[in-house]
């Protein structure tokens, strides 16, 4: 743990208190960046990129983002990109390529947290290459299966670099297939060393995953989470979570009992070329159970069958697509954080309604966040990201048509914050909009009442303006208490 001077402690404590009072997930000034959108606070669900080993690492990042996941675990040896198919992602990447990878991750809104399975041994120089790479890339955990006599060196490096090493279990007769072996090598070691619990490989070895997790309590760092169609069969294959023999509900309940906090990597080793729909089913199951075990986290705004919505838009493969007529979710929200991705066509003009008091008469009953193809337009109150007719964004952050954009909206009391593609573009205090039909700078707006008097709570909706628009990963976190 870092040591702070007294002044530093005081500043940190005050800023943390201010942040909590505001209900912010960004900074004391409000929402300053996109938040993580985990259903269970402290459980970080992401992909093990090996699930997409028929594709490049950059394609794996894009698939990870399409699933609405904020985290990823990389493995050594995957082709980097279509453009650099001769380059393999591993700890030998040049500083220039490391920088490129970081930018790719940032653009996708994905954080690289784990790396493995990678070799560690008794060669300190070679081990340091892996640890130096992990430090440079912001990786928290190295996943490995080291020889038993390497732990004095590995433990020392873990403490020096403040990076964890998680011991992975391939199926029997691999070195760590038995959780008892993991416990034995961890005994007397620092807390920087523990288990990467691979539930699927335990099943292939005839090990009950729930019992193995119980044995490893206190030493579990991360998981390769899997559900298989058979138990005790070497060639059993992955299935959508909750439909196999792993007893996934019991696995998650046990980790909840242990108060586990860490990374769950989805390693889906089946239907290699078209696994995303099945993985989406795994994500939905995980989020549903996570919300049951620990309510209050992020939730999908829309049910998969749109039974909690009003309107006739299309919803398939996780994407909501424009169709004629406005589209609303039926639950009302007062204070909340809404996080989603959107894509526009050339000349698209649309919008997202928040705190709207009336589905049928939306025009003057709530705020509209403008969604539009405006990447080449000057900044005003009608470009993408604006609070329509009321407040222009500080930057024009929308991407070119055909590319996915990320948008986060936070409504907390009179404060509205908007972040687009990694930049805060709106900070709005509705109390300043206290004259009907006027903005604080004296310009006119369309509202027949003062903005501060608009409905709270209200509905979230998507505008029919006659133009194609697409949304995905539409998530919400209520701040209503």
Mean pLDDT computed over 206-219: 98
* 26, pLDDT greater than 60: no
pLDDT band of residue 366 (cuts 50, 70, 90) is confident
Give CA 374 to chain center in angstroms. Answer: 27
Dist CA 5 CA 114 (whole Å) = 31
340 cis-preceded (ω within 30 degrees of 0): no
- Give the domain ranges of the chain: 1-28, 38-297, 309-478
Q: Is 275 left (phi over 0), alpha (psi -120 to 50) or beta?
A: alpha
Write the class of the CATH domain 38-297. Answer: alpha beta
pLDDT in tens, 282-323: 999 999 999 999 999 999 999 999 999 999 999 999 999 999
User: Is residue 439 helix, strand or coil?
Assistant: coil
Alpha-carbon torsion (280, 242, 201, 225), positive or negative: positive
Alpha carbon distance 66, 453 (integer Å): 37
Distance CA 470, CA 307 (A): 19
Per the CB < 8 A criterion, the answer to whether 341 and 406 are in contact is: yes
Fold of 309-478: Jelly Rolls (2.60.120)
- How do residues 382-391 score in pLDDT, each as one tens digit? 999 999 999 9
Any alpha helices (H) in 53-144, and if so which ranges? 57-66, 95-108, 124-137
pLDDT at 413: 94
Answer with the residue of higher pLDDT: 138 or 3: 138
pLDDT tens profile 103-159: 999 999 999 999 999 999 999 999 999 999 999 999 999 999 999 999 999 999 999
Alpha-carbon span 28 to 267, nearest angstrom:
37
Cα–Cα distance measured from residue 259 to residue 254, given in angstroms and rounded to the nearest whole number: 9
Over the stretch 55-86, which tens digit does the pLDDT of each residue have? 999 999 999 999 999 999 999 999 999 999 99
Do 392 and 379 contact (CB within 8 A), yes or no? yes
Question: Strand pairing partners for 405?
Answer: 342
> Does 1 score more than 90 pLDDT?
no
CA atoms within 13 A on the CB side of 18: 12
- What's the pLDDT score for residue 115? 98
Max CA separation in the chain (angstroms)? 76
Q: What is the pLDDT of residue 367?
A: 92
At residue 363, the pLDDT reads 67
């Amino acid at each position: 743990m870092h040591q702070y001077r007294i002044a530093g402690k005081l500043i940190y404590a005050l800023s943390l208190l201010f942040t909590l009072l505001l209900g912010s997930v960004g900074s004391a000034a409000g929402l300053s960046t996109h938040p993580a959108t985990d259903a269970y606070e402290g459980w970080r669900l992401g992909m093990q990129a090996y699930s997409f080993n028929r594709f490049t690492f950059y394609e794996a990042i894009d698939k990870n983002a399409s699933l609405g996941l904020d985290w990823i675990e990389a493995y050594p040896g995957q082709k980097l990109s279509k453009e650099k198919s001769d380059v393999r992602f591993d700890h030998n990447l040049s500083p220039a390529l490391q920088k490129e990878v970081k930018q790719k991750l940032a653009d996708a809104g994905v954080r690289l947290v784990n790396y493995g399975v990678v070799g560690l041994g008794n060669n300190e120089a070679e081990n340091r290459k892996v640890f130096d790479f992990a430090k440079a890339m912001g990786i928290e955990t190295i996943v490995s299966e080291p020889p038993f006599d390497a732990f004095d060196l590995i433990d020392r490096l873990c403490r020096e670099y403040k990076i964890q090493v998680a011991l992975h279990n391939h199926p029997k007769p691999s070195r760590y297939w038995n959780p008892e072996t993991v416990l034995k090598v961890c005994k007397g070691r620092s807390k920087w060393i523990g288990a990467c619990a691979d539930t699927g490989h335990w099943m292939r070895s005839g090990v009950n995953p729930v019992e193995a997790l119980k044995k490893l309590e206190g030493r579990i760092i991360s998981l390769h989470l899997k559900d298989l169609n058979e138990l005790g069969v070497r060639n059993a294959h992955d299935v959508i979570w909750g439909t196999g023999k792993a007893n996934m509900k019991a696995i998650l309940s046990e980790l909840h009992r242990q108060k586990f906090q860490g990374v769950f990597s989805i390693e889906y080793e089946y239907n290699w070329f078209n696994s995303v729909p099945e993985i989406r089913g795994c994500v939905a199951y995980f989020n549903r159970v996570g919300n049951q075990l620990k309510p209050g986290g992020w939730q999908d705004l829309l049910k998969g069958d749109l039974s909690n919505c009003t309107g006739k838009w299309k919803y398939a493969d996780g994407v909501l697509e424009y169709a004629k007529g406005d589209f609303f979710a039926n639950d009302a929200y007062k204070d909340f954080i809404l996080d989603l991705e959107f894509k526009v066509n050339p000349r698209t003009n649309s919008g997202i309604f928040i705190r709207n008091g009336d589905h049928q008469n939306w025009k003057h009953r709530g705020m509209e966040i403008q969604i539009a193809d405006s990447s080449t337009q000057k900044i005003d109150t009608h470009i993408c990201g604006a609070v329509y007719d009321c407040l222009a964004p500080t930057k024009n952050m929308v991407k070119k048509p055909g590319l996915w954009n990320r948008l986060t909206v936070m409504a907390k009391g009179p404060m509205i914050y908007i972040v687009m593609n990694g930049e805060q573009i709106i900070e709005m205090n509705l109390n300043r909009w206290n004259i009907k039909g006027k903005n604080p700078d004296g310009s006119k707006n369309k509202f027949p009442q003062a903005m501060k008097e608009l409905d709270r709570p209200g509905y979230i909706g998507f505008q029919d303006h006659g133009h194609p628009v697409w949304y995905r990963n539409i998530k919400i976190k209520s701040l209503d208490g």
